[in-house]
Structure 1
């Protein structure tokens, strides 16, 4: 028995299905936007939109369509990840850039690839009404659970899913009705405005009822919350940082998670990201939240504070104390910035966090006799000293820091020679290296920076090399390790890691080239609530929210009169440098929207796209989709306009005549013109002689036209057949309009 042929869905139904699926997909992207890196959100959004546009716009065979989609996807990956600074092109395209992209595109491309595959699966599997209902039910249940058991307010997302689901079901219903009852469908299409108005009223009522429902507190406690309360827990499990910060000698490390580390003497273990909140910072300038620095590299990690030592002075806090003193570079101006820090965790830290460099700190919560220690040389503000990090009582919950952010004249620094920068000599204490540091580390540093003519140019080459040639992962493969030196094993054996690997390698290699450097740890800037989140929850404010996943380390390099300048060797970050203005009174921040270990270059186009802009892109794409749909339905719209103008529907005969004469106008652009003296039969006969392939459609079309003009009135199916014939005739006519329009000499030239 011959298998049943796969149904061919009309273009209008495919277009509407694509629209509903994309709308539903956008609701998941909206939900994950606060959880994902901004580069991931942008990448997934653009992937879905571009794949949907290719699926809709290109009427090509499946093989060609898949090839085009893969090419478009690769282009999207390179363009967006390059725009966000995740990947910086370096060297020839093959093999350097190919290798660099392979190392830095992960894991972002997996999110994009999975989103594309899910889109393709839904379009091909969710095709019947029961499957559509099941698909919508799963989404509604999922969003209901997320809305109930998380802090997210997802009612708008549910409303959009209901809207798209209703539209999808209506589209499927009309498709089935058209397929099973063609005569009834034809009669139904006689009143399109009435049908559209009724559907619109139903949609509007459903959405208005949902949106207008008042917010009512629940009268019953859900089972999960009741169980948590009964068990006396908070639902959070063990402390996310119990193994990192420690809570006394009896602290048990159940797992290694991200956070501010107390022990840096041995680096390199893998960890899990912890997104538990740490602090929120209200500031007009985005920066890294600096904690402590380290100077002595042992080959395994960094020496602790007791071994390094600190010269500190007691500080009681502003406004009673004088401003904190530190070495101010002679060629650098500063910008005074106030930063209010609110701690969102009960953990205690050895330092107060702030931007570089702190001028003063003022406690804003109820506290007596604040006791802080200021290490001016390292620009660190310790809480209650630093020699007993396990005993830091009464850590402040809220404080204000005033920071003097350096404005670096990068153009001058890039041209400054080694003799100019270190005219009084480089500080030896920041050039320390272990005696057993492998020589190949120094050789590699010299090879990488050989083309740099100044210290800054060399350090920039070194930074780019580390960013482009090593894979970022929070779980490096330590089975590759052979060398006893941490940096050596990273550069030549493991060749993957996270911020501690990159920053330590940057410091050690810089020192091997005679550039003083120190290792810094603290937090990346975190993330601000999006405009849409602000609309949902205005109480969030514009503060930067920092979690344990934002714990970070980086390198600071010393350039004499230009001071300490941060360098960011970890892929996805850009150094938070404030550049001094050349001809303007304002400075701009070379900073990025970093989140955890990923950042987006702020000067790029896509990094400026907040969710509102992304919504506009989506609306624009939907508008293009709508315009293309209207273009495809131009015949029906023309017939509707004539019906309104004449006060009656057009007969099938009148529609057949219109489609035939419309074909005559379209074929003129293909080089097949009809003279004023020719009848339609004569013109068709001449066209068939010039292009024999048109005979199969022009003959039956002419018959229908003459029947409509002079004989019996065609049936409704006849004029639809005439429309299909006209479309096929346009395709068969090909693109020979230029050849037909050229004079004889030009024609012979093209024929050679």
Structure 2
């Protein structure tokens, strides 16, 4: 007996080993074709999952081990501090809650990297379960083997991934698994498969066949392809395909900018409408590290700076010497985003309810927060903000000779460039603006450079840089075709190469003007859709702060310049409008207290689906507990059905007096006996089976009951009172199955 168990254990190890190799082939291309790092962490998870099945650990223990590893990996990737402090769990749960809301709203581009990593772990978990089911239950693996071959060949054809070695490894592992499963199926039906000699014979033949076919595949001459490369043909059929290797995306705000490039499809979905006095861009976040392929953050901030609507927004404003005027605006959201959109120069935010706000100091993204410190989704909110008018001589004050006491770390952060940046990018920046005397003129020269005729704005025919290409270098010297990401990233990189601190900003343009205010109102109604998603540039001037620039062809910068000159701009008195900076100014309160006075034509009707989504976001914990309790109750009832089901069957048939129920009751008894563990074998007669049941229970009741049933079955007639006479026999047998 032990020898047979050893053979079974060895076969399971071999099957799981080859199954692991097949899944590994699905992970290998990710390191090369995507931004997924630390592939070894996911491979270790696969090893743990397969080992748990090989050693036949309990389901609860397997669930605990896998869940613990996933949580540890998530903490290692995205959180700081001790894993066992559990202080990070609240942030993780809040992140999951927000992403579940994004899933319901089908806003998949907004999913965070934390949630994407969790989903990837769950996907691997499901794949391991499927491998276990196909190998040990179904004893077939051809479908998964075929899917793996198709996956590799598609990547080899349409991407830069070289799949020659992967095909060989997959064929060897797949043939080995299918050969072993075929042997196990045959040995289960034939007694000849019990001897060790028979097993060795099969193993030798299988290994020889795989080795021979692999050797022939390597040695045989390779013919040239009969058909031409399908990629150019498919691109010619798809008018939305770009010249890069990336896929076509839908335009709109997204959180992941680590790999830019590729075409976009237009999207007219309304994101929000704004009731504003001035036309301006709407900021969402900034990013500071250019990698050569896209943008990432130099630091991950969990949490941020909290404030309320009574507090000023903790963002760097404009110096008092800058002439500025205060305005108010309101935003009516159509899509449920966990962040706010706001104008540059924002000083105060107002929203309904007991919400506060949190500023991420790394990205300057602002979130609304519930009183229990979880992200809130706002339908509407308002702002008070300053719109400056810069004096030209103030803009030209910074020339690089003095950073004005700016922190060296700050300068280093916003002049960062990758070592792999081609030198010709820096040379071009110097050629364009190297002779200018101040930072503003240098920035304007680079901004104007993109207005040249050789640059083209296009959202469709946009390339993706190859592995050895730089995103900015490709745009400046090769394609010269792209959209806002290409233009803005290129300008930031060139400014930094000149030593000017600059950063990349994401948000939306001012949108489309829909209507003017009623009566004396100066406000105008703007509609902002996904098509208005945009990125631009901000350069830092020590005496003024962050100044926006717009290099994208066809777009206009909203910066206002006062060309009036003064002898000493640093002593310029505050403008008359600066009196409005007082937080207690009644005019400010008037701008904010009418947050409810939204124009009727822009009030979005709340659909049933939206109501359900909002309800789910607020009550998801209770719903989750309720669903878990319901599932637990159903599972408990099902696992204990041997105790309560016989009583239900007795009650079900006890009340009926019709003789026609006898046939149904007898068939129900057969099913209940099978559940109890006394199945009827294939080809076994009812009388023979009745004798088996009677011998098991040491009675004669099943034989008597079966005799009555056969009389009914063959003669198609039932004497009156049959069910009444046999009901007691039937009930006695049903009661014996209570466990």
Q: TM-score range by the shorter chain?
A: 0.3 to 0.5
TM-score using structure 1 length: 0.40
Q: Which has the larger radius of gyration?
A: 2
TM-score using structure 2 length: 0.41
